[in-house]
Chain A
Amino acid sequence: MQRNEGKTALERMGVGPKLWLCLGFTLAILFVKNIFFGIAVIVASVFVVVHEDKLGLFKVILMTSLVLFVSMYGIYGTMAPGLDKASEPVWFYIGSLPYWRSGIDYATRYYFNVVPLMCALFPLITSIDMGDLGALLRKMGLSQRAAFVFIDSFQLIAQLSRDMQQIKDAQMARGLRVDGNVFQRLKAFVPIMVPVVANSLIKIQDQAVALETRGFNAPGDKTVYRELSYTKTDSFVRMASIFLGLGAICYRVLVVAAVVKPLSGAIS
């Protein structure tokens, strides 16, 4: 039986506790709605990413966060959706553009829903072993076909990404330009994408026949060549995640019912 022997603590953590952590963080970020909590989650996630040596991949998340920051604060701050601009004074100016407090609050409400979630889930999801995930999905009762479809998509993403890079390099060696204005870059899309798609459609014929010869449609239960084992740390992480999620929901219910005051830094 295969076991997953990860190098770091996060990689050694079982796939079940990681999914519970994802759920716990999602509920906490969506229901606590607190700017200090969001910043703490972002900082902790960056620390974990650096420790796990995934900073190269994390750059995509950082770029997306930056684009969202500029878009949301830049647009909402000066447009202030729903605000009667005559009734509220301008908070500050950037150049000649006025920024209103309620516009900044509006941007904060959405920015701190999305970005802490992206940062928190990134190290968890990228450290999940697909074999373990497939075994867990089967253990949870998902059909063999559905589990195969879900897991195969991650594997095909990796395979097609490599194919795309090879085709891009080959086309550039043949003189394809991938820089220049928008129209030139748009023209470059087709000679890269079409071979990727066409090659992958040809390969699925081989894959379908290979699956058939290995009894993909054969009746009866399928066995799994992967053992899932959990440590005491995994059990602790699972309980902590459940506590975090339920705690966040209870906090939100109590705040809405005006039983408790929102914590300092609450987002309206």
Chain B
Amino acid sequence: MALNTIDTSQSKLRNTYIAVLIPLGIAINYVGGLIAEVLSLPIYLDSIGTVIVAVIGGPWVGAISGVLYNIVSSLIGGNVLASLFGLCNLGTALIVGYLARAGKFKTVTHIVIATILVALLNAIIGTPIGLVVYGGVDGNASTNLLIAGLQATGSDLLSAAFIGRLPSQLLDKGIAVVISWLIYWRLPDNLRVLNASKSGSESAAAE
């Protein structure tokens, strides 16, 4: 029996796939961030794994993967306070996972809506966390320059931190969502049914 015909939606094998997907999402997030660092990019690119796992395995599987990524990366980097940013990944996974489960992860319009929602949520949640951990700035130099510029025009720190994060979040989450979308629709059917609702599994089977 070929691997791509094995039905992964059934209980025990599904649980095994999920147990393997979660660490994979963590590793993809980490490597995304590593590539962004190697290429000296002004964005993080450390949520691709969260989005892919949420789309494949479901919103809560993606959420576990996202939160664990922030815990693991904060342990590796030593900044345990940064694990609070796991709440951003939690929100990302829930939005994208439920959109995918509802069949709203197919067209370009869906991708644009997902990107905007995820970027807004990350800016809303990330701003107060950034205030607690770093006092308002970010670990990203270009975002910090934007925050400084906005403060120089008279904005208070909270508004400057929120607005300063929006452009980088739109770009960052946009790339994550687009890459995940491109890869998801090229996966074999037996992997795509992991996050299917009853209607989703019928349409995935029909494709």
Total count of chain B residues near the partner, CB < 8 A? 66
Q: Contact mask A151-190 → B, CB, 8 Å, 1/0?
A: 0111111011101100010000000001000100110111
Interface centre among A120, A148, A160, A164 (most CB of B within 10 A): A160
Which one, A5-13, A134-142, A204-212, A227-235, is touching chain B? A204-212
Query: A200-230: which residues lie under 8 A (CB-CB) from chain B?
Result: 200-201, 204-209, 211-212, 216-217
Closest B residue, CB atoms, query A126: B76
How far does the Cβ of B63 sit from chain A's closest Cβ, in whole Å? 13
- Please determine whether B12 and A161 come into contact, CB atoms closer than 8 angstroms: no
Q: Which of B22, B27, B35, B133 contacts A189 (CB 8 A)?
A: B35
Q: Which of B21, B38, B137 contacts A178 (CB 8 A)?
A: B38
Q: Which of A125, A156, A185, A204 contacts B17 (CB 8 A)?
A: A204
CB contacts (< 8 Å) of A190 on chain B: these are 179
Query: B102 in the interface, Cβ–Cβ < 8 Å?
Result: no
- Please determine whether A149 and B76 come into contact, CB atoms closer than 8 angstroms: no
- Please determine whether A152 and B20 come into contact, CB atoms closer than 8 angstroms: yes
**A75-B151, A122-B78, A204-B17 known; A153 vs B26 contact (CB < 8 Å):** yes
CB contacts (< 8 Å) of A159 on chain B: these are 27
- Please determine whether A208 and B17 come into contact, CB atoms closer than 8 angstroms: yes
- Please determine whether A61 and B20 come into contact, CB atoms closer than 8 angstroms: no
Inter-chain residue pair count (beta carbon < 8 A): 188
Instruction: Name 23 A/B residue pairs within 8 A (Cβ), A-sorted.
Output: A72-B135, A75-B137, A75-B144, A76-B135, A81-B136, A106-B135, A113-B81, A113-B133, A117-B79, A153-B26, A153-B69, A157-B26, A161-B31, A164-B31, A182-B41, A193-B35, A193-B45, A194-B179, A201-B56, A204-B17, A204-B21, A208-B8, A209-B6
Binding site for A on B (CB under 8 A): 3-4, 6, 8, 12-13, 15-17, 19-24, 26-28, 30-32, 34-36, 38-42, 45, 48-49, 52, 56, 68-69, 72, 75-81, 133-139, 141, 144, 147-148, 151-152, 156-157, 175, 179, 182-183, 186-187, 191
Binding site for B on A (CB under 8 A): 26, 60-61, 64, 67-68, 70-72, 74-76, 78-79, 81-82, 106-107, 109-110, 113-114, 117-122, 125-126, 145, 148-150, 152-157, 159-161, 163-164, 168, 178, 182, 185-186, 188-190, 192-194, 196-198, 200-201, 204-209, 211-212, 216-217
